[in-house]
Structure 1
Amino acid sequence: MDKGGARGTRERLVVIGGDAAGMSAASQARRLRGPDELEIVAFERGHFTSFSACGIPYWVGGDVTGRDQLIARTPQEHRERGIDLRLRTEVTEIDVSASRVRARDVESGAESWTSYDKLVIATGARPVRPPLPGVDAPGVHGVQTLDDGQALIDTLTATEGRRAVVVGAGYIGVEMAEALINRGYEVTVVNRGQEPMSTLDPDMGRLVRRAMEGMGITMVNDTEVTKLLTGDDGRVRAVATEDAEYPADVVVLGIGVRPETTLAKAAGLPLGDYDGLLTDLAMRVRGHENIWAGGDCVEVLDLVSGRERHIALGTHANKHGQVIGTNAGGGYATFPGVVGTAVSKVCDLEIARTGLREKDARRAGLQYVTATIESTSRAGYYPGAAPMTVKMLAERRTGRLLGTQIVGREGAGKRVDIAAVALTAGMTVDQMTALDLGYAPPFSPVWDPVLVAARKTVKELRSSDF
């Protein structure tokens, strides 16, 4: 066993997980405290560190030309900064009472214990892989790590057929549909929801479906996959539902992710309603002074609803890591929460949301009004003006902005940031109408679409008073 007593007064920080949250925490702690004061040991079961999982669909689709472009910092670069990074080493147990972790070498199977003074849990999320017949057949792929991305690219390169089925129509599902379209595949998306992009209200998701169908993607909604059929060679050949079969030379699972908290649960650490770790504002695991957690394995405070949520995004993971590393390194920082901002695209369609959907507002017990407007990304007379639809929710009594969703062409998606700032500031839609946003015909109509939506929402609020 690697005992801490031999280290003298030097503390040891152990990090479980070598991607965004874990290595951001390790790097920030190293900036604050040198190797003579703080030893940092990081365990990563995969081959890579500090990579962009969000970029994998664009690598698969050919927009990103190589895997290395998705790696922000290599293992060697971390080691050169004084971090003892142990690749292909999986932590299999956390012993909280003895302040130690058990790790197993993936290649040799050898196990050993490592003690810690401070622990960071950054185990990420695991893809949802339903227990369906045929789900483990060759040709069926999940997409979570660079290894997953490489395996899918290898399959696409080796496969002669050009029929692909994507199971699920969330962010990963629609992005992978685009990637496969870009590679010349005939794409069918099988989705259990009423419309694609369940992070939007159905009326906005309907716009996404129509656009995807216009791109040649076959959309099958309100449908459950029952099994994956295989051929005589054992490879996947079709996706089956209760009513139909959809031929497939390759299948991509885009059903979503869940917090990877198997270790934490076994160690008795507190989990929330979504099975994510619960932390305080300093990202310290509740009830444990020297254990922190961040990234896709935690639940975060929704600043709009006041409830805990699980949101798997690299932006949050990197911020968590900065906060954790600062605190573990002897400083002070907090992560106040999120408003649930996300943006994506499928081909030339941009999809964005922030804050609450209608069902989120109802679940939180909020009364609200909605307004939906159609506008353009630029002045209507300026070349390249593209259509967009903006939907806005506001609290009935106070007028407080509750959420915004945007679906449109070029120039639509990042406009959601205006609403994200307004949500964070607790602004009303009436206050938003007076925002001094930049204007010129190449960039916006005189009234930006977000402000047009705010104006219409104000009208809905006033009419609801009568």
Structure 2
Amino acid sequence: MVVGGDAAGMSAASQARRFKGPDELEIVAFERGHFGSYSACGIPYWVGGQVGERAELIARTPAEHRERAIDLRTRTEVTEIDLAGGRVLSRDLESGAEEWTGYDKLVLATGARPVRPPVPGIDAPGVYGVQTLDDGQALLDGLSAVGGGGRAVVVGAGYIGVEMAEALLNRGFAVTVLNRGEQPMSTLDPDMGRLVHTAMDGLGIVTVNGAGVTGVRTGADGRAVAVATRDAEYPADVVVLGTGVEPETGLARAAGLPLGVYGGLLTDLSMRVRGREEIWAGGDCVEVLDLVSGRERHVPLGTHANKHGQVIGANVGGGYGTFPGVVGTAVSKVCDLEIARTGLRERDAAEVGLRYVTVTIESTSRAGYYPSAAPMTVKMLAERRTGRLLGVQIVGREGAAKRVDVAAVALTAGMTVEAMTALDLGYAPPFSPVWDPVLVAARKAVSAVRAAG
């Protein structure tokens, strides 16, 4: 039995089916939305118009799953888990009918939910979270009702916030981003976030830092008309929440399953819930091991969710798989600005007691003389005594973001910055300077480590 019909849940179901046929293993999956197996990461690009149709984001329809003997029941919400009885209580959201269904093996893939600031008016019509296809459709309907030339306020300046700012700009809206932090993109250090802020301003996106939201003001019809902070009020025809997500683990908490400091389920390397032989969990509802810091983290990404599902499905189906952990790699964009990070920020390193050095370099995506060479900034952290790579952040134009993959591999391998300087990376003027920007940063980091003794 699978609770949650998106990336982790249906990857687990599909992988388990590859191991065992319908006569050996019955698979039932519950999904409270209208859709299963879709790309939530693609929603901002659907809203912004780069992806034309909702169907393009759907990897496999419920009917296609049923053709493979996976009984995916959409618009059905699981409301209770009875661990002692080995069963779950579900409710049909159309009819309201409830029923108990037994399981031998349970997979929890309940995902994450948008964080809604606890302020007046936050649940008013015209305020949209963006987590599911249903959310995306509701937002598109709201934008169509307003029409072009409206005013949009995005609350939050993380990945979702900056991606939605671009989407709304593409739809012809005047966009204001309210960010309670020092700079946008808190997954970066503030000095790198400042580069993002400057670029967003250049694109016509008004970004207000230090702007904690105190409420959403509504009109006579009850719809949102403005967002208030301590210092000002910002008119809005639509309000989009980009304040991040938190694990959707209410069911797990009520059932007494183990949760971590971020509220996510805790699992072993096989993605089995700790202390429960018959339950697995994966996707945005779990915490995972950070291979650099050695601590558990909540890292909600579709890449991890699909890997979790593959591991769970293999183990449920009688095979074997493990998920060792992550290094925290993520990329994003706002218009032509590319943003990437992997490993630890400065405050992450300090929190776990690591002494470090940092370097920042300016370079280009191609040889400087080659047409369309675009600037990029690379920041690198290395452990002070050993020179072990701790983290990399990149902000630039075309060709910048995916360079972070080199650093992600180096982090996973536990490489030092000195070892990185010898990496045999591809070179030709259309693709890179002679010294790739990541290797330029590594060379400078070697010098910083030596200077620090």
Return the letter of the residue paired with 1:55: G
Which of 128, 133, 138 is 2:125 aligned to?
138
- Give the equivalent residue in structure 1 for 2:69: 82
**Over residues 131-181 of structure 1, what are the superposed CA-to-partner deviations in whole Å (9 max), with x where a residue is unaligned?**
221112221111001111011111111104511100000000000000011
Residue 4 of structure 1 is matched in structure 2 by none
Match of 2:440 in 1: 452
Whole-Å separation in 1 of the counterparts to 2:156 and 2:7:
25
| 1:106-125 pair list within 5 angstroms | 106-125=93-112
One-letter amino acid of the counterpart of residue 253, structure 1? L
Q: Percent identity?
A: 81
Distance 2:92 2:341 in 1: 42
Q: Distance in 1 between matches of 2:394 and 2:444?
A: 15
Which residue of structure 1 aligns with residue 157 of structure 2?
Answer: 169
Q: CA deviation at 1:231?
A: 1.6
Which residue does 1:66 correspond to in 2?
53
* Cα distance in 2, alignment partners of residues 59 and 270 from structure 1: 36
Determine the C-alpha separation between the residues in 2 that align with 1:292 and 1:138. Answer: 37
Give SS of 1:406's match: strand
Mark the runs of 5 or more structure 2 residues left unpaired by the alignment.
Answer: none
State the match for 1:95 in structure 2. Answer: 82
2:171 corresponds, among 183, 200, 204, to 183
**C-alpha displacement at 1:237, in angstroms?**
1.1
Q: What amino acid is aligned across from residue 260 of structure 1 in structure 2?
A: E
In 1, the alpha carbon distance for the partners of 2:10 and 2:199 equals 39
| Alpha-carbon distance in 1 for matches of 2:305, 2:186 | 22
Moved more, 104-113 or 375-384: 104-113
Write the distance in 2 (CA, Å) between the matches of 1:235 and 1:38.
49
Normalised to the residue count of structure 2, the TM-score between the two structures is: 0.99
Give, in angstroms, the shift of residue 33 of structure 1. 0.2
**Which shifted more, 235-244 or 350-359?**
235-244
Q: Is it true that 1:158 corresponds to 2:148 in the alignment?
A: no
Structure 1's unaligned 5+ residue stretches are 1-13
Determine the structure 1 residue equivalent to 2:20.
33
Q: Deviations over 1:182-201 (max 9, x none)?
A: 11111000000000000000
May I ask how many residue pairs the two structures share in their alignment? 452
Match of 2:330 in 1: 342
Aligned-partner residue type, residue 45 of structure 1:
R
CA distance in 1, matches of 2:211, 2:234: 12
Cα distance between partner residues in 1 of 2:205 and 2:355:
37
Structure 1 residues 41-93: Cα deviation after superposition (integer angstroms, max 9, x where no partner): 10111100001110000000000001000001110110000111111111111
Q: CA deviation at 1:362?
A: 0.4
Which of 231, 238, 249 is matched with 1:261 structurally? 249
Distance 1:18 1:237 in 2: 35
Distance 2:193 2:216 in 1: 26
CA distance, structure 2, for counterparts of residue 269 and residue 230 of structure 1: 40
The aligned counterpart of 1:416 is 404
Distance 2:121 2:84 in 1: 42
User: Secondary structure of 1:38's match?
Assistant: coil
Q: Within 2, Cα distance between the matches of 1:241 and 1:67?
A: 34
| CA–CA separation in structure 2 for the residues paired with 1:385 and 1:326 | 45
1:205 aligns with 193
Distance in 1 (CA, whole Å) between partners of 2:6 and 2:224 is 31
Task: After superposition, give the CA deviation of every residue in 1:322-372 in whole Å (9 maximum; x if it has no partner).
Answer: 000000000110000000000000000000000000000001100000000
In the TM superposition, what is the alpha-carbon distance from 1:130 to its structure 2 partner? Answer: 1.7
Q: Distance in 1 between matches of 2:12 and 2:165?
A: 34
In structure 2, C-alpha distance between the alignment counterparts of 1:57 and 1:17, rounded to whole Å? 21
Residue identity opposite 2:146 in structure 1: T
Matched residue type, 1:84: D
RMSD of aligned Cα (Å): 0.6
Task: Write the distance in 1 (CA, Å) between the matches of 2:222 and 2:110.
Answer: 33
Equivalents in 1 of 2:91, 2:124: separation in Å?
27
Kindly indicate whether residue 151 of structure 2 is the aligned counterpart of residue 148 of structure 1. Answer: no
Runs (4 or more) in structure 1 with deviation over 2 Å come to none
C-alpha distance in 2 between matches for 1:136 and 1:308? 31
2:209 is matched with 221
SS in 1 for 2:368: coil
Give the TM-score of the pair, scaled to structure 1.
0.96
Structure 2 counterpart of 1:403, from 391, 394, 404: 391
2:290 equivalent among 302, 309, 316 = 302
1:7 counterpart residue number = none
